[in-house]
Amino acid sequence: MRNLKRKLIDNLKSAFVFSLSLYLLYAVPAVCAAGVKAVSGTQPAGILATAKKHIASNEHEKALELMKAFVEEHSGSETAAEVYIQIAKCEKDIYEKNRFVMVNNVIKAYEQIIEKYPYSDLGAEACFQIGQLYEKELKNNEEALKYYDKCVIEYPVTPYAASSLFRTGQINEAEGYYDMAIIAYERLSRDFSRYQIAVESLLRVKDIYATKMEPSSRTLDKSLEAYYEVINNYPENKKTPEILMELAKFYKDKKGDAQNSIKTYQQVIERFPQDKNAYEAYTRIAKIHEENKDYKSVVDTYNKIYEAFPDHENADKTLFDIAGVYETNLREYKKKRIEDKTYFRLEKNNLNEAVKYYTKLVDTFPQSKYAPTALMKIGNILNTDMANGLEARFMYKAIVEKYPDSKEYAGALEIYNKMR
């Protein structure tokens, strides 16, 4: 029985393709052949008017015959260009007219299946396919929705009912009927929770509330509900890392909640440490700390990135960024009062950390594009901030000897020669 059902559907699909092929192979060439009969003596001024009358009477084939005969005899006339355009439009109209007939024939065949096998999976598939033909081929969403509804009502436990609900949601969403779309998506996620399409439905609900409806506390909360329904009910879903990343961004951008954003990014890192999103989650956490001017947390996050991804293509940059934060953002000065005057003394602990990470970068990634810059920064810190010209000189010398093609070369050479 299963094979018979499958065969019937396949035969219908093959018949549709075969009918279209026959039309393209025989009908169109036949019309073209008829059109090559010359219309001797036809005046250019009247040919388009006559052809358009045929078209208005739905006699496209006669119009096409006249116009093709005309351009064959008067190909060099000024009117020929416009006639060629009308020929193209006429060919398209003929194709659409015949295509419409063929699609309707296929629909009738599917309706016969529903009539003969009303309570079978075969009937469910036929019902869904009719909806698809109305939606995709005939661009008639109203009729498509009727058959999708019929599929859901009469075949409620079949996969075709799930697909019909999803298409119903898609049509209503595209037409701006968001409440209707949400009803369809939520019913699908409830009644067909074991299917992957249920996850897609909940994600559509989330997007509608978050991006398509008028922003309000209600729509934001509804969007959050949809996020957590997917995350909690489908923990093994392959899209979970991406969904968590979206949720974290949602907290930050839509709710202004940096704390929950960071917590959600941390879920990605903890639950999916090998996923590509884990690295991105770390960098977004670091960016949030940087926006909040919490530079110690920035450094801690960069260190975690390097520990988790020591072989990442940006590992050298991570070390460079850590050193840069210590050098610039965590540069500290201590106030000191002497005889009613305030003095500021540079604290060197964080500068020492900067030198340590710049040095680690050069030692670990000597071919990195950041290596000569790191050496230059070490030299400047030692020479200017720590008054250690002897050690600084070695840094400038290393640039001159190892990185002659770097942008730091000229400056390092000049300083090195002055210090000799």
What is the per-residue pLDDT across 181-200, written as a single tens digit (0 to 9) for each? Answer: 999 999 999 999 988 899 99
Interatomic CA distance for residues 342 and 365, integer angstroms? 43
The pairing of beta strand 341-347 with beta strand 332-338:
antiparallel
375 shares a domain with 298: no
Closest CA to 326 of 257, 378, 363, 391: 378
For residue 367, is it within any domain?
yes
- Taking a C-beta distance cutoff of 8 angstroms, is the pair 361, 374 a contact? yes
- Which residue segment(s) compose the domain that 304 sits in? 255-311
For residue 262, is it within any domain?
yes
Q: CATH no. for residue 260?
A: 1.25.40
307 shares a domain with 337: no
For residue 306, is it within any domain?
yes
For residue 34, is it within any domain?
no
350 shares a domain with 305: no
Closest CA to 183 of 199, 196, 166: 166
For residue 396, is it within any domain?
yes
338 shares a domain with 303: no
Report the domain count for the chain.
2
Residues 87-132 pLDDT 10s: 888 778 777 777 777 888 889 999 999 999 888 999 999 999 999 9
Cβ within 8 Å of residue 202, ≥6 positions away: 185, 189, 226, 229, 230
366 shares a domain with 407: yes
| Strand partners of residue 334 | 345
411 shares a domain with 337: yes
340 shares a domain with 414: yes
For residue 189, is it within any domain?
no
pTM of the predicted model, to two decimals?
0.68
Q: Is 25 exposed, middle or buried (0-12, 13-18, 19+ CB in 10 A)?
A: exposed
pLDDT band at 282 (very low <50, low <70, confident <90, very high): very high
Closest CA to 134 of 154, 112, 108, 166: 108
For residue 290, is it within any domain?
yes
For residue 244, is it within any domain?
no
379 shares a domain with 307: no
Q: CATH no. for residue 403?
A: 1.25.40.10
